[in-house]
Amino acid sequence: MAEEIERKFLVKNTSFVDLAEMAVDIRQAYLSRNPDATVRIRMYGDKAFLTVKGRTHGATRDEWEYPVPVEDAAAMIERLADGIVIDKTRYIVPYAGMRWEVDMFHGAHDGLILAELELETECQSVDMPPFVGDEVTGDPRYYNSHLAGESGKSAPE
């Protein structure tokens, strides 16, 4: 078992695109959106993963992730999705010695852009890049599992 410590922010401009060292398309769906045990299937480029996450406490939660065959992931997304399928492009942006993941959403959430940063501890100091806006860590409206249940909106209200 691993613990995930993550902070999440709204993104206020697209300056991150020029700073990105790579970008990859992601397609994901939730098999369970229960907050105590979310189960996600994700196709990440030419790889796929099944991820189980526990309830978030502050910026921390339990997480287990396992590789699965891409064909199996595609079938699970097609047949078992609980809610809408999320499509997004993830940009990997190095900044001040940290690795930011910036997700630009497409489809039902077109226009939403979120930046995430995984940390060693919840109180770790972070230099904020110029594209980062308001922090939304802990706001369930910005959890991907919640977005999977929100079709036809560009961003949570």
Catalytic residues, by residue number, are: 30
Query: What's the rounded Cα separation, in Å, for the pair 81 and 70?
Result: 16
Report the alpha-carbon distance of residue 28 to residue 97 in Å, rounded.
Answer: 28
Q: Which helix (H) or strand (E) holds 72?
A: helix 70-80
Give all strands (DSSP E) within 68-153, no chain letters: 86-95, 98-105, 113-118, 132-135
43-70 burial, b for 16+ CB within 10 Å, e for fewer?
beeeebebbbbbebeebebebeeeeeee
Q: Round to whole Å and give the CA distance between 122 and 60.
A: 7
